[in-house]
């Protein structure tokens, strides 16, 4: 064994946060600013914005886990790209920001016993939205691709609007999901992570966490590897896991954390998506402007949400559902191509297991969700036709219509995996409780998409960040500024005070 391999790096902290994506970066910054000593560990790198080339194939390899080739097994197989690095998947996302729909929160309270509602979460949402400069896209920035959808929706009388996004000074480079080359997108790697560092948090990249150590029912350290094979140990009385929906259950399993609910790795919802192209008379130049800037929510109550999607020619060539001469002909008219996406709020549920150290993700589309895709594709066609499309290219094999499509005919991707360590007040039903504390383990919490107990029907980053904000303030025993005052929670470690007054000392590491 080399000297580098045998060396061990040891840190001490009040809280160790694992994963610097939507959930982890937020929790780390809020805790550090609240006075806690925080160590934030991220497996991926700090990406260098000077290397953001806006070229899709190149950036896919650089910014995405396994080059964006994570996929599910099932019918149909679904590509499930994940980000990796400071910012996690927020670095490569489209920037769309939705609060959790109130009906979903009501369901969480009723079905999973979670103590959340619109009013109590509002201060957390406000805080996140301010931190990320969330604002509605202007029609000028939205570009001509959005105009096509808008025209179609207006002619059909369908409910629609411009999306809210986390961006500042956006110039519409058109490549949000391939790394914003102007840093306009306010992902957590350039917002919350620097805030955490400024407040004294230690941020380690290339830190691959292998295990959370638990003794006598209490988490007290994490172990991992640093670049060069050095062993890493962070001793902390509180550990927050935020590795994302696919990797958090794996870390729990590797750490041999008891799962009394049997729910770890289960309940995976994906919000599966597809998209259609249309050939327009006008010049669209779909990559000029914000790719995801416009939505049509006329059928949201039926589980179908339509949102913009677009990209430069190298992207369109990969995504266009045509082959051979038809593909070449359509690509030669790239400037006239428009694209729009469909996402289905799924009732299908998948599950994860581990093969070697890799996740195997099983997910098959239910009949109910297949029906939503059939109806949704027909509506995409209607939308484009109403907008005046010359031709519509649906993502189906030649000769297959939406009505006759079976699951394996669909060309699906998914961007919003959730639920594999779901929160439920009952230890027999969920991996964490409503406060995101892992059932049965003191000092261990989860703050990422895995705790979200049901499909949302909308893009999830704000939900994850708001829940992470709420967790941080619970750990600090404070209310988020602007929040309605209510007594600090009766926590299982008995640290809440009877009078409900803030107790800011409690995060100090025991000597």
Task: Point out which residues bind ligand FAD (CB under 6 A).
Answer: 18-24, 41-44, 81-85, 88-90, 92-96, 177, 207-209, 242-245, 247, 251, 292, 415-416, 448-449, 459-461, 464
Which residue, 54 or 405, has its beta carbon nearer to ligand FAD? 54
Helix (H) or strand (E) holding 268: none
Residue 429 sits at the vertex; the CA angle it makes with 345 and 496, to the nearest 5 degrees, is 105
In this structure, what token pair is assigned to residue 460?
A: 């999830």
Q: How many helices (H) and strands (E) does the chain have?
A: 12, 21
Which residue, 306 or 405, has its beta carbon nearer to ligand FAD? 306
Residue 71 sits at the vertex; the CA angle it makes with 355 and 393, to the nearest 5 degrees, is 165
Residue whose CB is nearest to ligand FAD in the complex, by number: 21
Which residue, 263 or 336, has its beta carbon nearer to ligand FAD? 263
Of 187, 271, 336, 416, the active-site residue reads: 416
CB 419, min distance to ligand FAD, A: 11
Contact 84, 207 (CB under 8 A): no
Helix (H) or strand (E) holding 115: none
Of 487, 489, 486, nearest in space to 474 by CA: 489
CB 224, min distance to ligand FAD, A: 6
CB atoms within 10 A of CB 256: 10
In this structure, what token pair is assigned to residue 357?
A: 């150290």
CB 403, min distance to ligand FAD, A: 29
Q: Positive or negative CA dihedral for 395, 294, 121, 89?
A: positive
Secondary structure (H, E, C), 187-222: CCCCCHHHHHHHCCCEEEECCEEEEEEEECCEEEEE
CB 260, min distance to ligand FAD, A: 23
- Coil, strand or helix: which one is 92? helix
Which residue, 224 or 402, has its beta carbon nearer to ligand FAD? 224
Beta carbons within 8 Å of 274's beta carbon, 6+ residues apart: 341, 342, 373, 376, 377, 395, 410, 411, 412, 413
Q: What secondary structure letter does DSSP report for 338?
A: E
Which residue, 471 or 488, has its beta carbon nearer to ligand FAD? 471
- Distance in angstroms (rounded) separating the CA atoms of residues 220 and 233: 10
CB 410, min distance to ligand FAD, A: 18
Beta carbons within 8 Å of 190's beta carbon, 6+ residues apart: 87, 183
Contact 116, 105 (CB under 8 A): yes
Of 81, 49, 87, nearest in space to 66 by CA: 81
CB 222, min distance to ligand FAD, A: 9
Establish whether 416 is a catalytic residue: yes
CB 475, min distance to ligand FAD, A: 17
- Distance in angstroms (rounded) separating the CA atoms of residues 360 and 42: 22
Which residue, 251 or 412, has its beta carbon nearer to ligand FAD? 251
CB 24, min distance to ligand FAD, A: 6
Which residue, 19 or 457, has its beta carbon nearer to ligand FAD? 19
- Distance in angstroms (rounded) separating the CA atoms of residues 448 and 245: 7
Which residue, 243 or 389, has its beta carbon nearer to ligand FAD? 243
In this structure, what token pair is assigned to residue 163?
A: 């999306």
Beta carbons within 8 Å of 334's beta carbon, 6+ residues apart: 313, 316
Residues catalogued as catalytic: 416
């Amino acid at each position: 064994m080399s000297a580098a391999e045998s060396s061990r790096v040891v840190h001490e902290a009040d809280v160790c946060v694992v994963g610097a994506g939507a959930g982890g970066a937020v929790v780390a910054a809020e805790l550090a600013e609240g006075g806690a000593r925080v160590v934030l560990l991220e497996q991926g790198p700090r990406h260098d914005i000077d290397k953001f080339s806006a070229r899709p194939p190149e950036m896919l390899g650089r910014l995405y886990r396994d080059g964006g080739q994570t996929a599910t097994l099932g019918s149909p197989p679904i590509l499930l790209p994940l980000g990796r690095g400071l910012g996690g998947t927020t670095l490569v996302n489209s920037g769309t920001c939705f609060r959790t729909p109130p009906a979903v929160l009501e369901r969480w309270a009723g079905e999973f016993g979670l103590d959340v509602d619109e009013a109590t979460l509002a201060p957390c949402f406000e805080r996140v939205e301010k931190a990320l400069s969330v604002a509605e896209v202007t029609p000028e920035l939205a570009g001509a691709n959005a105009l096509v959808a808008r025209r179609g929706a207006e002619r059909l009388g369908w409910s629609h609007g411009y999306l809210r996004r986390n961006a500042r000074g956006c110039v519409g480079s058109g490549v949000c999901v391939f790394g914003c080359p102007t840093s306009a997108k306010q992902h957590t790697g350039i917002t919350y992570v620097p805030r955490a560092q400024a407040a004294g948090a230690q941020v380690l990249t290339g830190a691959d966490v292998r295990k959370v150590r638990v003794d006598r029912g209490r988490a007290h350290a994490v172990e991992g590897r640093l670049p060069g094979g050095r062993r890493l140990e962070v001793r902390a009385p509180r550990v927050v896991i935020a590795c994302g929906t696919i990797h958090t259950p794996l870390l729990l399993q590797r750490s041999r954390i008891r799962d009394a609910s049997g729910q770890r790795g289960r309940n995976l919802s994906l919000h599966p998506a597809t998209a259609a192209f249309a050939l327009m008379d006008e010049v669209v130049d779909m990559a000029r402007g914000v790719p995801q800037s416009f939505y049509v929510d006329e059928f949201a109550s039926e589980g179908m949400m339509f949102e913009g999607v677009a990209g430069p020619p190298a992207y369109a060539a990969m995504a266009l559902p045509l082959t051979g001469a038809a593909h070449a002909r359509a690509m030669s008219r790239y400037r006239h191509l428009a694209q729009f996406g469909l996402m289905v709020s799924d009732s299908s549920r998948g599950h994860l297991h581990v093969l070697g150290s890799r996740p195997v993700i099983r997910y098959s589309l239910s009949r109910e969700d297949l029906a939503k895709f059939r109806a949704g594709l027909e509506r995409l066609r209607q939308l484009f036709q109403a907008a005046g499309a010359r031709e519509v290219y649906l993502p189906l094999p030649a000769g297959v219509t939406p009505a006759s499509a079976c699951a394996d005919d669909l060309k699906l991707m998914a961007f919003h995996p959730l639920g594999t360590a779901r929160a439920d007040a009952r230890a027999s039903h969920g991996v964490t409780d409503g406060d995101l504390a892992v059932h049965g383990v003191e000092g261990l919490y989860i703050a990422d998409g895995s705790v979200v107990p049901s499909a949302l029907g909308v893009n999830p980053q704000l939900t994850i960040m708001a829940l992470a904000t709420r967790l941080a303030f619970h750990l600090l025993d404070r209310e988020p500024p602007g929040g309605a005052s209510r007594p600090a929670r009766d926590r299982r470690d008995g640290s809440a005070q009877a009078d409900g007054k803030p107790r800011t000392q409690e995060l100090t590491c025991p000597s």
